Amino acid sequence: MSVVGTPRESGFTLLELLVVLVIIALGASLGMSWLQGGSEQRLQTFAQQWADELRMAASHALGQRQVVAVIGDDQGYRFVTWQHPRGDAEGRWSPLSTPLLTKDTWPTGLAVSPQTPNEDGGPWLAWWPDGEVLATRLDMHLSDSRIVLAVDGHGISLEPAGEAVDE
């Protein structure tokens, strides 16, 4: 005996497909935010990486016996060295010629500025070949998170929300 009626159509309804797409989109967005962490974690990670790069610049100044400095702006930063070209009594800042310390841009949304602004566009911080350092404190902001990167004769430290963090 056969059942009389219309044959059942196979496939998914539009509603079922939309529900699946919404579930996939939610899973992807949660996964990405989990992998990237919040703004505080992203800022902490970048600040630690940049502190390591600055330590490398300090080592380069000592090892290569040359002045090494960092000049920054709203877009990013670059490592420079002090040059005295022949016939130029004044000297000038020139790009540092090492593949490890290059020009770079800030990550999207990150704002970095020295607590004591340098009006002439000169270096934010510098290391001399004898180990002396032009000390500075740099404010780093990402969304609602803030870290202060302090550079002085004792080294480089990160200070979130005004409290020093031991490294």
Q: What one-letter code names the amino acid at 111?
A: A
Fold for the domain defined by 38-160? minor pseudopilin epsh fold (3.55.40)
At residue 1, does pLDDT exceed 60?
A: no
Place of tokens 């990160």: 158
**Distance from C-alpha of 75 to C-alpha of 142, rounded to nearest angstrom:** 14
What tens digit of pLDDT does each residue of 108-130 get?
889 998 887 777 778 999 999 99
* pLDDT band (50, 70, 90) for residue 77: very high
Domain locations in the chain as residue ranges:
38-160
At residue 32, does pLDDT exceed 90?
A: no
Neighbours of 1 (CB within 10 A): 3
At residue 73, does pLDDT exceed 60?
A: yes
The model scores a pTM over 0.95: no
Higher pLDDT, 166 or 94: 94
**Distance from C-alpha of 27 to C-alpha of 74, rounded to nearest angstrom:** 35
**Distance from C-alpha of 148 to C-alpha of 150, rounded to nearest angstrom:** 6
What tens digit of pLDDT does each residue of 132-144 get?
998 889 999 988 8
